[in-house]
Structure 1
Amino acid sequence: MDLQFELNRPTRLPPLIPFASVDDADQAVARLIEIYRRNTAFIRDAFREYCARGLETGQRVRACYPALRIRIQTYQEVDSRLSYGHLVEPGVYMATITQPHLFRDYLREQVRLLLRNHRVPVEIGESDLPIALHFAFPEGEYVEGEISEVPGHTLRDHFDVPDLAVTDDAIVNGTWRGRANQPRPLAPFTAPRIDYSLHRLQHYTATSPQHFQDFVLFTNYPFYVDEFVRWARQSLAQGTGGYTELVEPGNVVTRPEQAHAAPAAPAAMPQMPSYHLKRAGHSGITLINIGVGPSNAKTITDHVAVLRPSAWLMLGHCAGLRTTQRLGDYVLAHGYVREDHVLDDDLPLWVPVPPLAEVQVALEQAVAEVAGLSGWELKRIMRTGTVATIDNRNWELRDQQEPVQRLSQSRAIALDMESATIAANGFRFRVPYGTLLCVSDKPLHGELKLPGMASAFYRTQVNQHLHIGIRALEHLREMPPARLHSRKLRSFIETAFK
């Protein structure tokens, strides 16, 4: 939009809230919530006026996101074991904030760490980044359907609308280039980028972002969903694990006293249904059925990442590539061959995606506990090695010489369509990641995934596989956050926020 044209238009704004120093994390978050509520209410009130009687010709209505800022004057020494919560060099750093009520615990922790590690106050105030009209409404309220009530006008004439120019992944991709005298990023995502993903999560999963938990399982088979729901209801009924309620697609809530009742099915299942077994402090488990393929894997992790989960794991099926593997064996990925192609522009192929020791140990320990095996016997059912992820489900139909040679050179022991994507996006978004696959076929050795061959495998292995994933997340939950969030996820110049 032409800048001079913008400057010449009358703009209705709420009174500016200047930045003010705060040296208490709770006060900082409370102030962010106050500014956000006031400014979104200002936009909503103006929109209702617009729908009722219109606005003055050419008048714009605008309110901006709250922001958190900090000024660092020295090279502060911090505990070298910490991977987040501090800044590496002097400067002015700022993050725009959306829905601070949803991120209250996360923001409180980040501010507390900044105050402790740098011993200077943070500053809370208004940014100059406008809140789009579509993002100013609480969950369940939308703009659509009311726009046509004002003939001869468009929203763009009066309100800010979502702007892709400020909705990107430049910060997490390491490609952010600021202007002179512009504050550096304090958080991995801007407020508009978070707002976009929060709306997409509701669309894809049919559950509210407020229900998502910090420990996430991805799968692509309904068998896992059925067992997860059964186990979740049992846990609620028995009062084990500290879980408080189960939320299913359509935001259907089951509490302990309702655990034995039949669930109410949503009118239509979403593309990627999600199930949330909730626990205090978002420390429960979310299971998402992501469907098949790397595009789905990237889409859902792009959006879940803005919630800053503590860890995510992929539980899927794979083609075993070694003659010694049997149907039902497990594969613990410690490396990936990335031929999914969906992340090539965001995370170049020359970037390694390393295994994270904390996650690897938790998964191996969970296999041993659930399967009741240890030591040399554990190696009978589980191999650790490289997983190849491809974007062609029918790769078996190609000339076998070329793909088989590449797979052999990579030392891959399994092949699937999602694991490398989920791990690579975990690396890109600084979310601890891991993969445990189950061998469902061995196409190079004549054991194809056919109905008769797969049924026995599914019956005997699905439940155990899921419970291994659950147990691994429970182990990760017991770790201190600073230990779980590996330094392997961080660059030498990073945002302070996790």
Structure 2
Amino acid sequence: MPSEKSLNIVEQLDAIYQQSVSRLRAALTHYIRTGERPDPELRASGGFAYPEVRLRYDGHRDPGPLGRAYGRLQAAGDYATAVTQPALFASYLAQQIDLLLDDYGVNVEVGVSRTEIPYNYVLDAGDDLDLTGASPVDLARIFPSIELSQIGDELADGLWVHEEGATRPLALFDAPRVDFSLARLRHYTGTPSSHVQDYILFTNYHRYVDEFVHWAIDQLDSDSRYTLLSGAGGVEIRKGDPDPRQAIADSAWRRHQMPAYHLVAPNRSGITLVNIGVGPSNAKTITDHLAV
């Protein structure tokens, strides 16, 4: 179980994140309705920024050899990373923070990062924000937007080089990189990234998808722990829904390159099936984003 301290840290991160998202969406709405740009001072003060978790390790406590590849610090110093959607990753974040607190005795702080949330990533927070008539070029110039040149895998690929005195990264993937993969998952699979489960199957034959869907619907008809079947095209099947097989068949799954189906259970302990289709490039693309 996560400690009270780590859960409190995650709650602080989520509060900052929700405030930034709310400000950004409000500024977008105001601009679309009136044409008035957001206050430059608001952006300069981090009004649209991701939250950040920072920690300091003085090196006095040496945990010795650790039999894990995560929750580890390589050297004394300051560490930090920007965090996105803390509520979605709450259990993971709390677990990692607890490991560092227990094994290294670090001091942890929460604050506002210097990295802004691209406006593109807050549009999925709801469909009530109508961008009809808004110029994408103007939006990208006025609001923080996706900068692919700033998104990379240098840490995971072993290409990052530490500069003496600089803050060390606390995570392999920072907030913009994680948000990029979450958006790609929704695009490729046609389902919310939050529905992805811990147990993932891949197939390149549609008949296996049919069998999985039929079996998953049967699970919902029983007294099982499964609560939802989420499918490509935005379809969601719950216990007691009429004619679920027809609802799946009528969904817009063909619009998506790698349609997915999630048999959802508490604590993400359900099963995800992704139809990667034909070709190794699809397999590499989807597994890269799932890994992040």
Same fold (TM over 0.5): yes
Deviation at 1:180, TM superposition (A): 4.6
1:82 aligns with 2:68: yes
Give, in whole Å, the separation in 2 of the partners of 1:299 and 1:248. Answer: 20
Residue 69 (structure 1) aligned to one of 45, 51, 54:
54
Residues 1:250 and 2:233 aligned together: yes
Checking the alignment, whether the CA contact within 8 Å between 1:134 and 1:143 is kept in structure 2 is no
Partner of 1:25: 6
In the TM superposition, residue 159 of structure 1 has moved relative to its aligned partner by 1.4
Are 1:230 and 2:219 an aligned pair? no
> Does the Cα contact within 8 Å between 2:52 and 2:82 map onto a contact in 1?
yes
Instruction: State which of 4, 12, 19 in structure 2 corresponds to 1:38.
Output: 19
Mark the CA change 1:45 to 1:179 in structure 2 (over 3 Å): closer, same or farther.
farther
The reply on whether 1:114 has 2:97 as its aligned counterpart is no
Instruction: Assess if the C-alpha contact under 8 Å between 1:237 and 1:260 holds in 2.
Output: no
Name whichever of 24-33 and 105-114 sits farther off: 105-114
Counterpart Cα distance in 2 of 1:56 and 1:227? 52
Measured after TM superposition, the shift of residue 224 of structure 1 is: 1.1
C-alpha distance in 2 between matches for 1:285 and 1:272: 16
2:179 to 173, 182, 195: 195
Amino acid at match of 2:30: E
CA 1:122/1:259 → structure 2, altered by over 3 Å: closer, same or farther?
A: farther
Offset of residue 39 of structure 1: 1.0
Cα deviation digits, residues 211-255 of structure 1 (max 9, x gap): 100111111111111111122122222334x32221111232222
Distance in 1, Cα, partners of 2:130 & 2:182: 16
| Distance change in 2, residues 1:79/1:260 (3 Å) | farther
1:145 partner SS: coil
CA distance in 1, matches of 2:64, 2:266: 30
Measure the CA separation in 2 of the matches of 1:68 and 1:263.
46
Correspondence for 1:145 among 116, 119, 132: 132
The residue that corresponds to 2:260 in the other structure is 274
**Cα distance 1:298–1:60, how it changes in 2: closer, same or farther (>3 A)?**
farther
Separation (CA, whole Å) in 1 of partners of 2:272 and 2:78? 36
- In structure 2, which of residues 152, 160, 168 is the aligned counterpart of residue 176 of structure 1? 160
Classify 1:125/1:263 alpha carbon distance in 2 versus 1 (closer, same or farther; 3 Å). farther
Aligned length: 281
The 8 Å contact of residues 275 and 287 in structure 1, kept in 2 or not, is answered as yes
Shift of 1:67: 0.7
Aligned identity (percent) is: 40
Letter in 2 for 1:98: T
The separation in 2 between residues aligned to 1:77 and 1:95, in whole angstroms, is 22
Aligned to 1:292: 278
Give the direction of change, closer, same or farther, for the CA distance of 1:177–1:145 in structure 2 (3 Å limit). Answer: farther
1:165 aligns with: 149
For structure 1, the 5+ residue unaligned runs are 1-21, 307-498
Residue 336 (structure 1) aligns with: none
Alignment of 1:338-349 (within 5 A): none
What CA deviation, in whole Å up to 9, does each residue of 1:312-369 have, x standing for no partner? Answer: xxxxxxxxxxxxxxxxxxxxxxxxxxxxxxxxxxxxxxxxxxxxxxxxxxxxxxxxxx
Give yes or no for the alignment of 1:262 onto 2:245: yes
User: What residue is the counterpart of 1:388 in the other structure?
Assistant: none
| Partners of 2:243 and 2:215 in 1: CA distance | 12
Q: 1:187 to 1:143 in 2, by over 3 A?
A: farther
Structure 1 distance, partners of 2:4, 2:57, is 14
**Rg larger for:** 1
Matching residue's letter, 2:240? E
Q: Secondary structure at the match of 1:129?
A: strand
Aligned to 2:191: 207
Secondary structure of the residue aligned to 1:66 is strand
Residue 254 and residue 79 in structure 1: after superposition, are their counterparts in 2 closer, same or farther (change >3 A)? farther
Distance 1:180 1:163, change over 3 A: farther
Contact 1:23 1:115 in 2 (8 A): no
* 1:254 aligned partner, one-letter code: I
Inter-partner Cα distance in structure 2 for 1:221 and 1:81: 39
Q: Describe the shift of the 1:260–1:23 C-alpha distance in structure 2 as closer, same or farther (beyond 3 A).
A: closer
Unaligned runs of 5+ in 2: none
Q: Whole-Å Cα distance in 1 between the matches of residues 196 and 38 of structure 2?
A: 43
CA 1:192–1:284 in structure 2 vs 1: closer, same or farther (change >3 Å)? same
Once the 2 structures are TM-superposed, how far is the Cα of residue 144 of structure 1 from its aligned partner? Answer: 4.9
- Counterpart of 1:237, as a letter, is D
Distance 1:78 1:245, change over 3 A: farther
Secondary structure at 2:285 match in 1? helix
